[in-house]
């Protein structure tokens, strides 16, 4: 929808990512490697018509130096939402902080941290916002 606000589109995309992740988690369950969830979630999102990039190198600028391989985003969907995947029993306190840093460095507005290691996936999803009003995915 061309007249749609960018925030609304980002919310739709992040909601669709969560829906696809729940679908994948229901099919596969917890306990597999992150790389498996990354490949399957990317496949599911592409099947649903989304543009998905995986293992995206994001440069980091420090003063006047640009480091081409600052970090790798697990997934970027529709060039607007960063998705970081984990497959651990519990997220560490640093994981949301890392995602917020990734959002700032990449100038993206919304990120999802998804832990496929959770028994209930809804308990393993954190939505981070960089410069947008917070609203539910």
**This prediction's pTM:** 0.88
pLDDT by residue for the chain (137 residues), tens only, comes to 444 567 789 999 999 999 999 999 999 999 899 999 999 999 999 999 999 999 999 888 888 888 877 789 999 999 999 999 999 999 999 999 999 989 998 989 999 999 999 999 999 999 999 875 444 44
Q: Where are the domains of the chain?
A: 6-129
**Residue 89, phi then psi, degrees to nearest 5:** -65, -40
Residues in the chain: 137
The C-alpha atoms of residue 106 and residue 97 are separated, in whole angstroms, by 14
User: Which secondary-structure segment (H or E) carries 111?
Assistant: strand 110-115
Task: With both helix axes pointing from N to C terminus, report the angle between 6-28 and 34-47 in degrees, rounded to the nearest 10.
Answer: 120
Give bridge partners of residue 127 from the DSSP assignment: 112
Measured CA distances, 79 to 60, 65, 106, 120, 124 (Å):
18, 24, 11, 28, 23
């Amino acid at each position: 929808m061309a007249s749609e606000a960018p925030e609304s589109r980002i919310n739709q995309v992040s909601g669709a990512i969560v829906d696809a992740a729940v679908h994948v988690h229901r099919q596969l369950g917890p306990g597999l490697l992150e790389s498996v969830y990354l490949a399957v979630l990317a496949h599911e999102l592409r099947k649903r018509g989304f543009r998905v990039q995986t293992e995206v190198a994001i440069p980091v600028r420090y003063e006047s130096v640009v480091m081409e391989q600052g970090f790798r985003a697990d997934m970027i969907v529709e060039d607007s939402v960063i998705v970081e995947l984990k497959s651990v029993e519990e997220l560490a306190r640093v994981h949301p902080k890392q995602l917020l840093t990734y959002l700032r460095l990449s100038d993206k507005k919304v990120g999802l941290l998804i832990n496929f290691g959770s028994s209930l996936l809804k308990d393993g999803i954190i939505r981070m916002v960089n410069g947008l009003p917070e609203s539910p995915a």
